[in-house]
Amino acid sequence: MAIIGGGPAGLSAALVLGRARRSVLVIDAGRPGHFAADAVHGFLGMENVPPRELRRRVWEQLEPFDVSLVQAGVVGSRPEAGAGIRESRGAVAVDSGFVLTLDDGSTVEAAVVLLATGVHYGVMDLPGLAALWGERLFHCPFCHGWEVVGKRVGVIGPQPVIDHMVPLIRLWADDLTGFLVGPTAGGGPTAVSVSRDGDDGTGDVVVALSDGSEVRVDVLFAPPALGPVDALLEDFGLHHDFESPMTPEPLGLAVDANGATAVRGVYAAGDFAGELPSVANAVQSGSKAAVGIVRLLSGQG
Ligand SMILES: Cc1cc2nc3c(=O)[nH]c(=O)nc-3n(C[C@H](O)[C@H](O)[C@H](O)COP(=O)(O)OP(=O)(O)OC[C@H]3O[C@@H](n4cnc5c(N)ncnc54)[C@H](O)[C@@H]3O)c2cc1C
């Protein structure tokens, strides 16, 4: 079987499936949004571990199992019943099958596919903001709130973002300023650009306002502009069909209690499946989908 995406969701599934004697191919493009951050926070037993190191440890622990990695992007898929069935190791025959096309033009066959491709974490369109991402610009206080305790913190975004994030981030930040972007009902100044003082990365974050004034902070929070990684969805006959908790745009993909999508043999997990974005949630949903796949292969799915 194939797992598309080797982040926490995909690798969690790979571990469970490998331990269930399944032959697993993880196909991963190696570009998770999380690599922009220096460490993973809020994930039990892995506090402060860099995201790359987390992956390295997982692959080390996958070594005893029949799990292998193909470093590539999957760019297409077509259904082909019976594809990918080599040896069963006790599994019943499943009536699904897929031929995946990789970005080098080669193909891979899989009887069952898990989509764990994550989502695209974009940055709001404001001059200078993207350059701060991961170091001075964060999206989630559960991931980086503890790291900003005692610092000068700003929340930047349109009115609904200010209304939602300022009361939330006040739990972590005593020195907190909201910077409005876009239309303002009260006619007050809005943020027009941000920059960082100095070249060594230690300087203040400077927020320039529409009245010509500047405010200095240490870090900013803004929600990510989440976007779907959905180039493959159409090929699988799927569509995004519910709203993500962090964006008004339809983003997630509905799965049942076993992580199964509406298409037989296609499962989904992690950010891509609309989980509230976190490593812990991705890991649990990858594990859940793996159990669902094992159920299918034991004739109970
Ligand atoms: C900057 C940042 C900091 C974060 N900090 C934290 C934190 O401290 N704590 C926390 O709990 N959460 C944090 N998160 C959220 C967390 O990283 C995600 O919720 C989690 O990684 C989701 O796991 P996933 O496996 O679903 O997707 P991802 O981790 O995004 O992995 C998906 C993988 O699939 C690959 N892929 C995508 N499309 C294809 C394709 N077509 N073919 C092959 N491969 C493909 C990608 O390259 C990637 O490697 C952070 C996120 C970001 C962006």
Structural domains present in the chain: 2-120+225-297 (3.50.50.60), 125-221 (3.50.50.60)
Query: Does residue 121 line the site of ligand 1, with CB under 6 A?
Result: yes
- Candidates 53, 70, 143, 229: which one to mutate for ligand 1, based on the most atoms within 8 Å of Cβ? 143
Spatial contact of 151 and 221, defined as CB atoms under 8 Å apart: no
Mean pLDDT computed over every residue of the chain: 91
Query: Does residue 31 line the site of ligand 1, with CB under 6 A?
Result: yes
8-state DSSP, 106: -
Q: How far apart are CA 80 and CA 269, in angstroms?
A: 23
Query: In the prediction, which pLDDT does 223 show?
Result: 85
Of all protein residues, the one whose alpha carbon is nearest to atom 6 of ligand 1 is 143
Query: In the prediction, which pLDDT does 290 show?
Result: 98
Of all protein residues, the one whose alpha carbon is nearest to atom 13 of ligand 1 is 278
Digit-coded pLDDT (tens) for 11-69: 999 999 999 999 999 999 999 989 989 999 999 999 999 999 999 999 999 999 999 99
Tell me how long the chain is: 301
Confidence category of residue 242, pLDDT binned at 50, 70, 90: low
Query: H or E segment at 13?
Result: helix 8-19
**Secondary-structure breakdown of the chain: helix, strand, coil percentages, each rounded to the nearest 5:** 25, 25, 50
Q: How far apart are CA 102 and CA 42, in angstroms?
A: 34
